[in-house]
């Protein structure tokens, strides 16, 4: 890339009224080619669609349109083979491509920008790019959901403690816990699908802001670029960045979900919990402490949401208070979205790998499920069901029994029947059946509950949806 100080003469693309070129620092703050070169494929696709439409509507001769279309393909292959001479003095990807086209095909290149502006050009390029990222997120999320479903299927009836406040609450099943994340990532996926549907309107042809006097066919370009229809208001077309914000918002929520499971993995893989073993592929060692196996990937995934949410806040702040229509402020949209998208796709891939490779420690999970008086609610429910106690009274009786067990340093099933009857004389021997964790989870048959049958039903439903 050429240095800013190379620039002395007025810009060839728009410098007609300028006697001298920009200050080197102006070039440095103004140029976006350093990052918007990532839009090259979209820019060329948009230009090819535009040129074909200009020919179809008689605005360009077939020969000129043909030369432009072919020339753009040459530019594309130059960029893809690393031979393209990107120039900072040409500001952005749009002018870099057009200038190179002129070097390649001469005069007809100057006709490509008929009935178009960089304002609608960047709007269409960026929409196409973000649309692709929605597709990538949808694919990444689908793979991740499949990994969770596979874990759930394997462990539909493995018991583990369920937590509230990170305190043992009630026994649940491993499969149920895995399927909770399937629901979360399914909502994420539908957010990307929704955003994609809404953004799939083509702003090309809005020109600078007011539309154009040339007899263009916006439906033709919209269709050629895979959009559902052209946008309906030219002012909105060039000033709208909702599509980028929606992508970032969906990414932020998704990254927040990733961070929650990442945190569970950090806790679960610790020596204190030992609920899961992460594979060597997703952990690192310590250079000084030989026993260590650190969950670095999980920790990084816990952190990445900060970066993605940061990009979201940054673009919101850029867009807030901008008057219609295009303002150069909007050039600040791209780096945020690029970084957020890269971060999200990497995060989805890393999480998919970690989930697929992790191993649940069943004995430890089962032991933990049975500790912490996790079946106290089952006992209270039994008192309600079998003895007709009001739930509040049953809660009180159970609390007394928990306190008794705690004093004795044992769990609820370790109390004797006589000890229980001292608290409530109606308690019978069959109470012990509900104090076991296996029975506890099996009893939670309400729709969406943790019973293995319910989990298997959800696994089957999702396997079909994800097939």
Nearer to ligand ARG, 122 or 397 (CB): 122
Q: Give the 3-state secondary structure of residue 216.
A: coil
Please check whether residue 318 is in contact with residue 329, taking contact to mean a CB–CB distance below 8 angstroms: yes
Active site positions, annotated: 165, 286
β-pair partners for 167: 164
Neighbours of 188 (CB within 10 A): 26
What backbone phi and psi angles, to 5 degrees, belong to 201? -125, 140
Q: Are 284 and 276 in contact (CB under 8 A)?
A: no
3-state helix, strand, coil in the chain (%, to 5): 65, 5, 30
Where on the phi/psi map is residue 321: left (φ > 0), alpha (ψ -120 to 50), or beta? left
User: Judged by CB, which is closer to ligand ARG: 36, or 64?
Assistant: 36
Residues at the interface with ligand ARG (CB under 6 A): 32, 36, 92, 118-119, 122, 326, 328, 330-331
**Closest listed residue to residue 452, CA positions, set 153, 185, 96:** 153
Residue with tokens 């219609």: 324
Question: Measured from the CB atom, is 118 or 257 closer to ligand ARG?
Answer: 118
For residue 132, give both structure tokens. 């692709």
Q: How far is the CB of 316 from ligand ARG (least distance, A)?
A: 17
* CB-CB contact of 459 with 179 (8 Å): yes
On whether the CB atoms of residues 198 and 211 are closer than 8 A, the answer is no
Cβ 442 to ligand ARG, closest distance in Å? 59
Report strand pairing: 276-277 vs 359-360.
antiparallel
Q: Which is nearer to ligand ARG, 199 or 360 (CB)?
A: 199
CB 26, min distance to ligand ARG, A: 13
Q: CB of 462 within 8 A of CB of 149?
A: yes
The residue (of 128 and 380) whose beta carbon lies closer to ligand ARG is 128
């Amino acid at each position: 890339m050429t240095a800013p100080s190379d620039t002395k003469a007025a810009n060839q693309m728009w410098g007609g009224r300028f006697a001298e070129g920009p200050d080197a620092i102006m070039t440095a703050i103004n140029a976006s080619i350093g990052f918007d070169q990532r839009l090259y494929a979209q820019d060329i696709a948009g230009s090819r669609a535009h040129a074909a439409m200009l020919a179809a509507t008689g605005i360009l001769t077939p020969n000129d349109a043909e030369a432009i279309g072919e020339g753009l393909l040459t530019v594309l292959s130059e960029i893809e083979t690393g031979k393209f001479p990107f120039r900072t003095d040409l500001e952005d990807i749009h002018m870099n491509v057009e200038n190179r086209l002129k070097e390649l095909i001469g005069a007809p290149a100057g006709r490509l920008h008929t009935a178009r502006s960089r304002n609608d050009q960047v709007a269409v390029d960026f929409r196409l790019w973000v649309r692709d990222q929605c597709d990538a997120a949808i694919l990444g999320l689908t793979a991740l959901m499949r990994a969770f479903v596979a874990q759930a299927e394997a462990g539909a009836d493995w018991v583990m403690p369920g937590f509230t406040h990170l305190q043992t609450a009630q026994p649940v099943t491993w499969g149920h816990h895995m399927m909770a994340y399937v629901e979360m990532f399914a909502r994420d996926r539908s957010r990307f699908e929704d955003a994609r549907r809404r953004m799939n309107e083509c702003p090309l042809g809005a020109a600078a802001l007011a539309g154009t006097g040339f007899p263009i066919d916006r439906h033709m370009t919209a269709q050629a670029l895979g959009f559902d229809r052209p946008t309906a208001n030219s002012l909105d077309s060039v000033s709208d960045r909702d599509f980028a914000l929606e992508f970032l918002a969906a990414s932020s929520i998704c990254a927040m979900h990733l961070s929650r499971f990442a945190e569970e993995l950090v806790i679960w893989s610790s020596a204190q919990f030992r609920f899961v073993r992460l594979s060597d592929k997703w952990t690192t060692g310590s250079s000084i402490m030989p026993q260590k196996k650190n969950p670095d990937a999980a920790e990084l995934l816990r952190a990445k949401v900060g970066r993605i949410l940061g990009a979201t806040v940054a673009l919101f702040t850029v867009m807030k208070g901008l008057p219609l229509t295009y303002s150069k402020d909007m050039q600040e949209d791209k780096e945020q979205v690029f970084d957020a998208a890269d971060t999200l796709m990497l995060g989805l891939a890393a999480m998919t790998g970690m989930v697929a490779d992790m191993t649940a420690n069943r004995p430890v999970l089962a032991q933990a499920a049975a500790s912490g008086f996790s079946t106290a609610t089952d006992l209270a429910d039994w008192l309600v069901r079998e003895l007709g106690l009001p739930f509040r009274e049953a809660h009180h009786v159970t609390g007394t029994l928990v306190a008794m067990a705690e004093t004795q340093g044992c769990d609820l099933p370790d109390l004797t029947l006589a000890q229980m009857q001292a608290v409530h004389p109606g308690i019978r021997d069959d109470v012990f059946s509900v104090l076991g964790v296996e029975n506890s989870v099996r009893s939670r048959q309400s729709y969406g509950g943790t019973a293995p049958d319910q989990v298997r039903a959800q696994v089957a439903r999702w396997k079909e949806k994800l097939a």
